[in-house]
Amino acid sequence: MRALRGLVPFVLLSVLSAQNCANTSIGAVPLSDLGTGTYQGFVGGLYGAGANVPPAAHFASGASRMAAVQPRDAAGNPAPGGRIVLLSIGMSNTTQEFSTWVATANADPNRNPAVTVVDGAQGGQDAVTISNPLANFWTVVDQRLAAAGATPAQVQVVWLKEAIAGVNGGFPGAAQQLQGLLGQIARILKQRYPNCVLCFCSSRTYAGYATTGLNPEPYAFESGFAVQWLLQQQIAGDPNLNCDPASGPVLSPWLGFGPYLWTNGTTPRSDGLTWLCADVQPDGTHPSLAGRAKVANLLQQFFTTNSLAAPWYVMPGASASFSLYGAGCAGVAGVPILRSNGVPSLGNGNFRIGVEDAAPQALVALWWSSASASIPIAGSCNLLVDPAPGLPVWPSFTSPNGTRIEPLPIPNQPVLIGAELFCQWLVEDAAGAPLPGFLGLATTRGGRVHIGL
């Protein structure tokens, strides 16, 4: 009987701390799927105005900053045998997710051997805490760099994911508070790591299963707006977030969205991502092993395919990569987005090329070439592939939600290593640029397919 009485508090604690598995949705639309729709009056898209890619000028600024990412010695000088440190900054969720990915990154034969991945994120260190440049958090980060054989001068890229513990204040106030804290953290990054030129920011995962007030919904979803507004703040030219030496003192790295992690619980977003009760620990907030693995997969996909990450992260030459270039032109849903589902590695029979945010049920053409180009064809629309080589053009139609996916299986033939293809989607769109013989034209950016290991 005494043993049974001793068991009761443990059982009650377990029940009280269990996830709220019934809350499988909060009815919100992921920012990446919201497009030009709104949430409480604020427009979706990772970069606002319905766009999931940076504006052309901001992308060009990022590409210019990326050009400085190169192996550096301990003093920060360019050196052939030096390091490119990719550092995580954030809280408990961040370190749990990033440290899971570190094992994948370290085992990846396609990773540039100059890249050193260091987990600087720490449990219990929310945005309020680490926005203080004197916080012990930053001392621990540098200790971890030293343990990895790296120095602050070798840190060139950061993945930043933060939130406010015990958040309150409603929307948009709490998101605006987080926006301000993220801006302060960005400035600290530049102060402590002068060669840090790129910072990819992510917002929270789904928190509908949470049973504590640490960072529940809808605050977790709304943290995506904090990142969106931060990026817009830099894009608008705020001198406190300037990353361009030609525009004044450089106080911040270039800021962009990293992998977007939020999805509406068990409701799949457009890429199929769901967040299940099994993906969180009993508090409903921190990721379980399964949830960590999901985020690790998103990190792996981002750093091996993003056009501002893959060029320095992936091993030069022999590694497969997919990157974007040039600028598209808008149609009814904004600029259509060219997507790949991974990298074109040898034997990847499931490699796909798709288009999103195109006009629904519209004629589309996937144009292929062995060379890039920039040829004006209608209004601000340019053909970004060279038509001279005469490679095939694949015509088709989009779905009712404006998407189309085409398979491009990669044969397991070593002779293909290093081969490159260039592609672009052209969309018939009445809201696009006038084009004789068509309703109008919208285009994606160009895609560079580099076949490798």
Say which residue, 321 or 378, is predicted with more confidence: 378
Cα separation values, 224 from 97, 176, 446, Å = 18, 11, 27
> Is the overall model pTM greater than 0.75, yes or no?
no
Is the model's pLDDT at 13 over the cut of 60?
no
pLDDT band for 305, please (50, 70, 90 cuts).
confident
Question: Average pLDDT for residues 139-158, to the nearest whole number?
Answer: 98
Give CA 1 to chain center in angstroms: 55
% residues pLDDT > 70 (the chain): 95
**pLDDT class of 2 with cuts at 50, 70, 90:** very low
CATH topology of domain 18-313: Rossmann fold (3.40.50)
Distance CA 426, CA 327 (A): 13
For residues 203 and 227, give the distance between their C-alpha atoms in angstroms, rounded to a whole number. 7
Q: Are 139 and 181 a contacting pair, CB within 8 Å?
A: no
- Report the C-alpha gap between 204 and 218 in whole angstroms: 11
Beta strand extents in 282-333 (DSSP E only): 321-325
Exposed/middle/buried for residue 175 (C-beta within 10 Å: 0-12, 13-18, 19+): buried
Among the ranges given (23-32, 147-156, 408-417), the one the predictor scored with the smallest mean pLDDT: 408-417
Q: Determine the Cα angle at 390 with ends 388 and 392, to 5°.
A: 140
Q: What is the pLDDT of residues 72-96, one digit of tens each?
A: 999 999 999 999 999 999 999 999 9
The band of 319, judged by pLDDT with boundaries at 50, 70 and 90, is: low
Q: Which two tokens stand for residue 214?
A: 């640490």
- Give me the CATH code for the 321-450 domain, please: 2.60.40
Give Dmax (Cα) for the chain.
87
CA distances (Å), 360 to each of 405, 426, 431, 443, in order? 14, 13, 12, 14
Return the DSSP state at 453: -
For the chain, what is the mean pLDDT?
92
Question: SS3 for 260?
Answer: coil
Per-residue confidence (pLDDT) for residue 16, from 0 to 100: 41
107 CA to centre of own chain: 21
Alpha-carbon distance of 43 to 51, in angstroms, equals 10
Taking the domains of the chain in order of start, what are their residue ranges? 18-313, 321-450
Residue 17, pLDDT score? 54
Residues in the chain: 453
414: pLDDT strictly greater than 90: no
HEC sequence for 353-369? EEEECCCCCCEEEEEEE
pLDDT score of 304: 83
Alpha carbons 356 and 331: distance in angstroms, whole number: 12
